[in-house]
A and B are shown apart, each in its own frame.
Chain A
Amino acid sequence: MNAEQLALDIQHLKISYGPVEVIRGVDIQVQPGEKIGIVGESGSGKSTVALGVMGLLAEGGRITDGSISIAGKPVNYEDEKRLNAMRGKDVSLVFQDPLSSLDPVKSIGNQIAEAIRWHNPRMSRREIRDRAIQLLTAVGVPDPAGKLSQYPHEYSGGMRQRVLIAIAIANDPAVLIADEPTTALDVTTQAQVMELLDSLVERLGIAVVLVTHDIGVVAEFCDRVLVMYSGRVVEQVRVEDIFDRAAHPYTAALLDSLPSRAAEAHGELKWIPGSPPPMTDVPPGCAFAPRCHWAVEECSVQPAARVIDAQKLHTAECHRAEEVQAASRQAGGEKEAAHA
């Protein structure tokens, strides 16, 4: 893979909050226009990666190792000026909660204009206004010209999320990071917003990193899935392979605990016993080993990096990846047999 072509290239990223390392060496490569999903339970570090790429880590957080390139350009996270020029232009963010993601005392038009003006200082007010209306139209807000002067509290949750998407695509970024974009919305609105996002990024060729705990959303929207656990990517796999080719026991367990799948396979809801280790005390070797029924002795010594397929698109950090994958296949096959 040529690094020049990648929309986003994260190499061996490590992030610490104070003395605690929360991201422990993460590699993510995203092709232009590709949609990847990062899944994992809360605390796995998926949101931290997102904020780390934006250079907007909460106070005390810092990148301690690794490198990040966006649209082929390596990012220097010490240079605030360059960062400001990059944010919103090369990479943009759609945030979790549309209710609190807009400034309650500024009009919608003002908040969209802010995203445009900052990167186009030469644009006239008229041009900015036209562009804002164009953006609102693109995200399907009815009567966009009239809505510019309204305030966030006059918008519904779904409409606010559309405004946030409009802000995020304002400058045609190479990468759009969406951190739980639909979690706060009801299911119908959720589907509409994801559909909108899908059609927009498809048309504009924007690469998307979707951070979510919802594998269902990932399966419908993404090309590739990265599963995170305790600050590491434990498996990456093409979305069509995730259900019957999962090669990491954690991925398999996550899938098993999906309500619909669990009911189909076992008639009852399955869960993963135990809880992730605290980030202050991550065991050596594989962090999932203490909860893993596949675990063997060497798991607690060091994690294994396995490449499953020839194109290097499917990797898993597991000593017994091949066996786990075989089991996944069998489970998938059984289900298909049951369906037939």
Chain B
Amino acid sequence: MLRSMMERLGSVIITLLLASIVSFVILRAVPGDPARTVVGPLASDDAVAAVRQQLGLDDPLPVQYWNYITQFLSGDWGYSYSNGADVATVIAARMPATLELAFFAFLIAVIAALVIATVASYRRGVFGIVSKLLAIIGLGTPPFWLGLMLIIVFSLGLGLLPGPSGRLAGFLEPPPQITGFYTIDALFAGDFTAFSDALARLILPACALAVVPGAFLVRLLVANQSEVMQAPFVTVVRAKGVSRWITHLRHVVHNALLPTIGSAGVILATLITGSVMVETIYDWPGIGSTLVNGIQRQDFAVVQAFILLSAFLYVLANLAADLLLELVDPRLRVRAGGVRA
């Protein structure tokens, strides 16, 4: 037990270290000069050189990396070259918006995928073909295009939902921060106007973000379910007199769901990459849109912190998935209290 925990921790650290090195090198291999961004286009070359010197951009890469990573670990995530803001502060302020969006997208993706995949593999025939088509289209649809389409149809066309203008209407006060989720905080504060507005503004971006992971899950769940349906134990359950639908819900879905937990990391990755585009389109004040600005301005510190954070979350998601699987899969469950006779 202790040994496997240590092994896991070791692989987590190695993964994060590699992610930091790769992202550090790639960022600096991109053409352009952040010193120029800092001093502005009209400054002299000498001024640029001086800033380069000051920022340590002339040091060899390993030295730069060492300086960066030691500062990062001590909590100093650097500051933005473009506006001087402290990166850690910016990310802390913008994180809740992204988390709320990703959380709702995740919920939508999981629930929709479960329903579609279960009905598709139970009914097969037309349903199976339609679900397969939906999954292929969903996986191939760029979230930013879908985001725009949703705005055009539901906001501009039907006027059902608010347009792309952030998390809350301008005239509403954000609820006092407890979880950082506007919807939940508004409920805590008993502010139903803010709650319904925050929820209405979440729906479109969350749906746009949910499509890729949702389609991925549909494919995975349909494949898993049709495999489990072939298992002899399904025939045995049916031979007890249990109807086909109940057998499917109780045994097939349960067995098909377990291996899906292992893909939590992939789901998270689609949510992170998707959030970058979706947030930009919906003017969502999260870290995804911060990243887009950071890349455009060669804000090393911002981009680097985003990448490291994403890597950390990815590793965390995989770790959590492993632990969850051990909890819910009896075959992996570590028995407490030693051997049972």
Contact = CB atoms under 8 A, between A and B. Distances in A.
Nearest to B258: A105
Given A105-B330, A143-B341, A100 B232 contact: yes
A118 B241 contact: yes
Given A106-B251, A143-B341, A101 B236 contact: yes
Contacts of B123: none
Interface string A65-93: 00000000000000010001111110011
A161 to B, nearest CB: 12
A95 B244 CA distance: 18
A146 interface: yes
B3 interface: no
A154 B330 CA distance: 10
Given A54-B239, A56-B239, A87-B241, A103 B255 contact: yes
Contact of B330 (A56, A89, A107): A107
A258 to B, nearest CB: 28
B330 A153 contact: yes
A223 B283 CA distance: 80
Interface string A107-134: 1000100110011000000000000000
A92 B237 CA distance: 11
A89 B240 CA distance: 8
A62 B308 CA distance: 59
Contact of A102 (B233, B258, B331, B341): B233
B329 A105 contact: yes
Contacts of B254: 103, 105-106
A151 interface: yes
Contacts of B251: 103, 106
Interface string B239-274: 111111000000100110010000000000000000
Contact of B240 (A51, A87, A105, A150): A87
Contacts of B158: none
Contact of A119 (B241, B258, B329, B331): B241
Contact of A87 (B232, B238, B340, B341): B238
B236 A93 contact: yes
A167 interface: yes
A95 B236 contact: yes
A278 interface: no
A172 interface: no
B126 interface: no
B92 interface: no
Contacts of B238: 54, 56, 87
A97 B232 CA distance: 8
A236 interface: no
Given A100-B233, A102-B233, A107-B330, A92 B341 contact: no
B240 A151 contact: no
B261 to A, nearest CB: 12
A221 B244 CA distance: 33
A104 interface: yes
A150 B235 CA distance: 21
A149 to B, nearest CB: 9
A167 B330 contact: no
B237 A103 contact: yes
B240 A101 contact: no
Contacts of A114: 237, 240, 242
A104 B239 contact: no
B148 to A, nearest CB: 43
B231 interface: yes
Contacts of B243: 80, 84
A26 B231 CA distance: 28
Contacts of A88: 239-242
Contacts of A103: 233, 237, 251, 254-255
A15 B239 CA distance: 19
A182 interface: no
Contacts of A89: 241
11 contacts: A54-B238, A56-B235, A89-B241, A95-B239, A103-B233, A105-B254, A105-B255, A105-B258, A115-B241, A146-B341, A167-B236
Interface of B: 231-233, 235-244, 251, 254-255, 258, 329-331, 340-341
**Among all A-B residue pairs, the 4 with the closest Cβ atoms:** A88-B241, A93-B239, A88-B240, A151-B330
Given A93-B236, A104-B331, A115-B240, 5 more contacts: A87-B240, A88-B240, A97-B232, A103-B254, A154-B340
Interface of A: 51, 54, 56, 80, 84-89, 92-93, 95-97, 100-107, 111, 114-115, 118-119, 143, 146, 150-151, 153-154, 164, 167-168, 170
